[in-house]
Structure 1
Amino acid sequence: MTAAFVALGGAVGAVLRYAADLWLRKHSHLPLGTLVVNIVGSALLGVLTGVALDEPTFAALGAGLCGSLTTYSTFSYDAVQLLAEGRRPTSLLYVGLTVVAGVAAAAGGLLAAQLLV
Structure 2
Amino acid sequence: MLIGELANEAGTTIRALRYYEQQGLLQARRLPNGYREYDETSIGRVGNIKLLLSLGLTANDVHGFLACLDQDIADGPLCPASARVIARKLTDVEGKIAALDVVRKRLVDVLAQAEG
Answer yes or no: same fold by TM over 0.5: no
- Give the structure-2-normalised TM-score: 0.29
TM-score normalised over the length of structure 1? 0.28
Q: Which structure is larger by alpha-carbon Rg, 1 or 2?
A: 2
Higher fraction of helix? 1
